Amino acid sequence: MEQRHLGHTGLRVSRLGLGTMAWGRDTDEGEAADLLKAYLDAGGNLVDTADVYGEGEAEALLGRLIEGIRDELVIATKAVSVPHSDRRFDASRRHLLAALDASLARLGTDYVDVWQLHAYDEGTPMEETLAALDTAVHSGKARYVGVANYSGWQLASAATWQRAVPGRAPIASVQMEYSLLQRGIEREVGPAARELGVGLLPWSPLGRGVLTGKYRNGTPSDSRAASDRFAGFVEPYLTDGARRIVDAVSTASDGLGVAPLEVALTWVRDRPGVVAPIVGARTPAQLRGALAAEDLTLPREIRSALDDISLPALGYPDDGWNRH
């Protein structure tokens, strides 16, 4: 699998990441072991998790599976989210450093390669939050740091602060939802990331599963949209506008002789600034479908058609508002 640098760093990661949000909840240990083996056999090395996935079980499961192969992987995890609490996000120094220690214990390692802030916390001064990232890097518990789900101004502020002060740990990555069904980051976050040398790691690159085409003729009983837990997560992408984009992806896939998910994944993988889409496959079969996209390059005409049909609305003062 081809590798890319993570932003303006020397760290190289495979251009497809393996997500673990379902591990320890919908994906059991045997299935997770099969997923990890298939991913590593394909040349992948970036595994993304978080302290809240499966209420910590995703990290614990991953920790059991990486014993003896830790050095082969680039492990990325996240902190900030506080489930079952009145305070949804906590990016205080106290919480972050305790959360990092807890993640390391579950993972069974003394460092993570990329430690990410899961969301922006309005209740904590940014300087305090960023200082905690510096402490993590200087202590050796994290090699690189990143953020996730930040707005354009939040990313620009954090990355600029880290670059302006000597000795601070630079923001290496930003993890954002990005797909043909969700192109909102193209307004501000994407341009800011490219300008500041921050690598983009798209999550849900298959539009919460909708771009696979599985919902074109209804809701499969074994799909996330059929579950009480995830129905609300998928529903926003089951609109008439989304259906037109899914139809265009399916038309392209028919013409190329590949699966719709390969088309959708290749489109986002090759967007400007993207380092590695994070694919949250629940089964080895789903992962094999995603891995098949490694050999696909979209023809210019197809890419242009998909760009046009999914173009996000731009207005003042979005990036590019005066070029349309």
Q: Which residue has the tokens 């489930």?
A: 83
**Residue reference for tokens 């919908």:** 26
Centre a 10 Å sphere on the Cβ of residue 296 and count the other Cβ atoms it contains.
17
Neighbour tally for 170: CB within 10 Å: 18
How far is residue 79's CA from residue 246's CA, in Å, rounded to a whole number?
A: 33
Kindly state the tokens that stand for 77: 């995890």
Per DSSP bridges, beta strands 171-177 and 3-5 are unpaired
Residue with tokens 């939802």: 177
User: Are the C-beta atoms of 132 and 138 separated by less than 8 Å?
Assistant: no
Residue 230's identity, in one-letter code, is F
Two structure tokens written together for 303: 């890419």
Single out the catalytic residue among 39, 53, 144, 215. Answer: 53
* C-alpha triplet 152, 271, 48: angle, nearest 5°: 75
Q: Distance between CA atoms of 181 and 310, rounded to whole angstroms?
A: 7
User: Which one-letter amino acid corresponds to residue 231?
Assistant: A
Q: Which two tokens stand for residue 178?
A: 């990005």
Polymer length in residues for the chain: 324
Residue 203 backbone phi and psi in degrees, to 5 = -105, 155
Q: Is 53 designated active site?
A: yes
Q: Are 76 and 128 in contact (CB under 8 A)?
A: no
Nearby residues of 103 by Cβ (< 8 Å), 6 or more positions away: 51, 59, 77, 79, 112
Own/partner long-range contacts of 84-87 (Cβ < 8 Å, ≥24 apart): 87/123
Active site residues: 53
